[in-house]
């Protein structure tokens, strides 16, 4: 069940960016409680995707005309260069996430899942600062 939070509208911050950030924060809390490493990894990765989408909603997407679909990580590195290393980090986990979604969970150890949850939390903190200008 998603909890809807009504944020005061601040000039220049799209409501979609705030909504995506909230979804990432709430999803991370769920990922922290998940006991299955594969589901924990996938949930944390989804939270990172939502946080990235929040940055894209804030900064806008570069216009490319009629181009092919582009990875959120590529877009993030393009519109927010300060997140380039994070984009590369999460892009490197894309294949593992795809494997987990396909039901191949042996690729994720409990430690790998814990590490991704922790790193996703750090990433969300940075995104929160970029969007709201404050820490948790």
Contacts of 41 (CB under 8 A, 6+ apart): 93, 96, 97, 100, 108, 112, 113, 116
Note the pLDDT tens digit of each residue in 32-77: 999 999 999 999 999 999 999 999 999 876 655 656 667 899 999 9
Domain boundaries, the chain: 15-61+70-132
Confidence of residue 133 (pLDDT cuts 50, 70, 90): confident
Burial 83-106 (b: 16+ CB within 10 A, else e): beebbeebeebeebbebbeeeebe
pTM equals 0.84
**What's the CATH number for 15-61+70-132?**
1.20.120
Note the pLDDT tens digit of each residue in 2-41: 333 344 445 678 999 999 999 999 999 999 999 999 999 9
């Amino acid at each position: 069940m998603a909890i809807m939070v009504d944020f005061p509208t601040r000039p220049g911050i799209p409501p979609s960016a705030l909504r995506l950030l909230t979804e990432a924060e709430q999803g991370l809390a769920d990922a922290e409680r998940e006991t299955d490493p594969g589901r924990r990894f996938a949930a944390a990765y989804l939270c990172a995707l939502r946080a990235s989408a929040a940055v894209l909603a804030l900064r806008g997407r570069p216009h490319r005309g009629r181009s092919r679909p582009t990875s959120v990580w590529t877009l993030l590195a393009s519109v927010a260069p300060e997140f380039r290393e994070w984009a590369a980090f999460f892009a490197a986990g894309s294949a593992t996430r795809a494997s987990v979604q396909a039901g191949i969970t042996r690729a994720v150890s409990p430690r790998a899942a814990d590490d991704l949850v922790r790193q996703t939390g750090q990433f969300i903190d940075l995104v929160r600062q970029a969007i709201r200008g404050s820490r948790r």
